[in-house]
Structure 1
Amino acid sequence: MAAKSANVYARIEPDVKEQAEAILAVLGIPSSNAINMFYKQIILNKGIPFDVKIPSSRPVDVTELSKSDLNTELEKGYADMEAGRTKSAKQVFSDIRRDYNI
């Protein structure tokens, strides 16, 4: 294993740093190790190890919906269910296990 002697200096938003470091602390991973893991994934993937794109649609934040809008969203979900455009929880968990090798 090579000695860790190179430095990376980056300016990031304070709240992003705080939130990420809180999660890393729970996981027991120092920030420098997380950055090293990220760089290794860049090498292994020969690029950014995740999609960098603008999502086509964002999840609906139900806390900001009026009662009428919430009902509209629930009706859309029910229509999807009736039309067979949904997956069972069993299938969703099976897909997750397959996609993440767990």
Structure 2
Amino acid sequence: MQLIYQLGIPMSNAVGMLLRQIVLQKGIPFEMKLPRTAPLTYGSLTKEQFDKEIEKGMSDVKAGRVYSADAIEAEMKRDFGI
């Protein structure tokens, strides 16, 4: 959706364009498939896997690969008008 906003295309126009392409191509104009793996959930992890994921997160924090809540809020306002 971010691309639609960046292009300045109203959502209603984007939907209309998609529907026209479905008619012209007699089908969905792009490949649709399920993801190969499901997103990680706490209940699906073993203790070792959970500990590894936590360690990855802690490494990001230690390396400064973090975003403040203010930065995230500003980005959402800029990109989505939220």
Gap regions ≥5 residues in structure 1: 1-37
Residues 94 and 39 from structure 1, CA distance in 2 versus in 1: closer, same or farther, beyond 3 angstroms? closer
Which of the pair has the greater relative contact order for Cα pairs under 8 Å at 6+ separation? 2
Does the alignment pair 1:95 with 2:75?
yes
Give the one of 11, 14, 37 matched to 1:41.
Answer: 14
Aligned to 1:61: 41
> How far, CA to CA, are the matches of 2:50 and 2:73 in structure 1?
27
Please give the per-residue CA displacement for 1:32-56, whole angstroms capped at 9, x wherever unaligned: xxxxxx765322xx448xxx7777x
**C-alpha separation between the residues in 2 aligned to 1:74 and 1:101?**
32
- Listed as ranges, the matches of 1:1-40 within 5 Å are 40=13
Check if 1:74 corresponds to 2:77. Answer: no
**How many residues are paired up?**
60
Counterpart residue type for residue 41 of structure 2: D
Identical amino acids, percent of aligned pairs: 29
- In structure 2, give the amino acid aligned to 1:41: A
Q: Distance in 1 between matches of 2:66 and 2:32?
A: 25
CA displacement, residues 65-98 of structure 1 (integer Å, 9 cap, x when unaligned): 1111111100000101111222112211211111
1:73 counterpart SS class: helix
Name the CA distance, whole Å, in 1 between partners of 2:76 and 2:38: 20
Change (3 A) 1:64 1:86: same
Cα distance in 2, alignment partners of residues 68 and 99 from structure 1? 38
Aligned residue type for 1:69: Q
What are structure 2's unaligned runs of at least 5 residues?
1-10, 20-30
Q: CA RMSD in A?
A: 3.2
Structure 1 or 2: more helix by fraction: 2
